[in-house]
Amino acid sequence: MFRKNEVLGIDIGTRLTKFVLLKQGTKPELKAWAIVPTPPGIVSDGLIRDRQAVLDMLKSAISDHKLTAKKVAVTLHSSGIMLRELNLTALNDDEIEPAVQFELAQSFPDMLQTHSTAFKIYTRTSEILNGISTSCPKEIVNSYVELFADSGISLKYVDVNANSLAKAYNWFVQSPAPGDSVLLVDLSYTMSQVNVLVDGKIILSRSVSGGGAFVDSLIVNRFEITMEEAEAARQTGYKDLSINQDELDSCLRLGYSSVEDQMRQTLDYIRYSKLQDGIQKICFTGGGSNFPGLETYFSGMFRTPVTVAQSDSIPLEVSDKFFILMPAIGAALRED
């Protein structure tokens, strides 16, 4: 039986697909969840390549894990998604969308033809509006809309990864408070994302090549094992491999070098352009953050407190998967 206040959030990744059934309310509650393998090659950089294979996977997981819900939401993760901070002169509500489109067109003349754009206003005064705009390639958005149109599954809305992560972080990790700032780094399989939240609001997001697969490749070469074996070893903390922490730190440095560079550039930009005292803390999410010594390595690198996302307000049996499920959790958190 459907419950009107439950939403199924779905995050279709290159390697794994995550599902979270969330009960809405003043205190959202995680009711059920699942993580299933994504068949190879059916999704690439957010674009659905094989509609039938994705549909079969979704229906099978929903049935097997009893995840039926009247409302379904998906989150999109792609290097083609752009997020920009908005600072506009005060406008009436019906004037904001044309103003956002005009501003984007000044920097990206063809964007209105190639991308779907949405915006969120954070603050408004008699003089200015502040918020963000997100632009996603229409090809990606349409691939999801067409998938669900043929599925019999009711898709209510589509979110983007950065916003989904921000919502999950604010609800389940740290409630927003004035003066808070965090670098929220999502280490996915082949592509990662560096996001900045200030006062609970996302103000910047950058995608970068790099993730768990890059570290796995180093382990494959070091121990002459398969990628599947390397990924399984990473999930168990490499307990069955003869490797010391110095070698693990070397894998972090090499495998996540592009992510580290983007983190450094973002931290410098925020310090010199936005916040005089810089970012207060760094929080990692995603399957790639399950790596021994990651917190110590990056806290030493950036002289900033580092944690892997955890939550005290979810069932104990899912607590060790929370950092992987965050985008699906955030997708299910509806913004009205």
- Domain of residue 222 covers 191-308
What does the pLDDT look like over 154-188, one tens digit per residue?
A: 888 899 999 999 999 999 999 999 999 999 999 99
What type of residue sits at position 314?
I
Residue 4 pLDDT level (bands cut at 50, 70, 90): low
Same domain (yes/no): 35, 153: yes
Residue 259 lies in a domain: yes
Which position has the higher pLDDT, 316 or 325?
325
Residue 218 lies in a domain: yes
What does the pLDDT look like over 66-108, one tens digit per residue?
A: 998 888 999 999 999 999 998 889 888 889 898 888 888 888 8
CATH number, domain of 130, equals 3.30.1490
Same domain (yes/no): 67, 171: yes
Same domain (yes/no): 65, 32: yes
Same domain (yes/no): 234, 265: yes
Phi, then psi, of 110 in degrees rounded to 5: -95, 5
pLDDT at site 269: 95
Same domain (yes/no): 51, 159: yes
Same domain (yes/no): 18, 158: yes
Judged against a pLDDT cut of 80, whether residue 1 lies above it is answered with no
| CB-count burial class (<10 Å; 0-12, 13-18, 19+) for 53 | middle
Residue 152 lies in a domain: yes
Mean pLDDT (the chain) is: 91
Average pLDDT over residues 29-52: 93
C-alpha atoms less than 13 angstroms from C-alpha of 138 in its C-beta half-sphere: 7
pLDDT at site 233: 86
Judged against a pLDDT cut of 60, whether residue 2 lies above it is answered with no
Same domain (yes/no): 158, 225: no
Distance CA 192, CA 251 (A): 16
CATH number, domain of 69, equals 3.30.420.40
Residue 180 lies in a domain: no
Say how far residue 154 (Cα) sits from the centre of its chain. Answer: 22
Q: How many domains does the chain have?
A: 3
Residue 204 lies in a domain: yes
Q: Nearest 5°: CA angle at 172, between 1 and 82?
A: 95
Sheet holding 191-198, edge to edge: 201-209, 191-198, 181-187, 281-285, 306-308
Residue 214 token pair: 């890059």
Same domain (yes/no): 28, 143: yes
Judged against a pLDDT cut of 50, whether residue 27 lies above it is answered with yes
Distance CA 27, CA 172 (A): 10
What does the pLDDT look like over 273-313, one tens digit per residue?
A: 989 889 999 999 999 998 889 999 999 999 999 999 999 88
Residue 314 lies in a domain: yes
Same domain (yes/no): 247, 303: yes
Same domain (yes/no): 202, 267: yes
What does the pLDDT look like over 196-250, one tens digit per residue?
A: 999 999 999 999 998 888 988 998 998 898 888 888 888 888 888 888 889 889 9
Residue 183 lies in a domain: no
pLDDT at site 3: 62
Same domain (yes/no): 161, 18: yes
Task: Look at the pTM and tell me if it is higher than 0.85.
Answer: yes
Residue 181 lies in a domain: no
Same domain (yes/no): 195, 249: yes
pLDDT at site 5: 84
Query: Could you give the maximum distance between any two Cα atoms of the chain, in Å?
Result: 64
Residue 3 token pair: 């419950």
Distance CA 322, CA 336 (A): 24
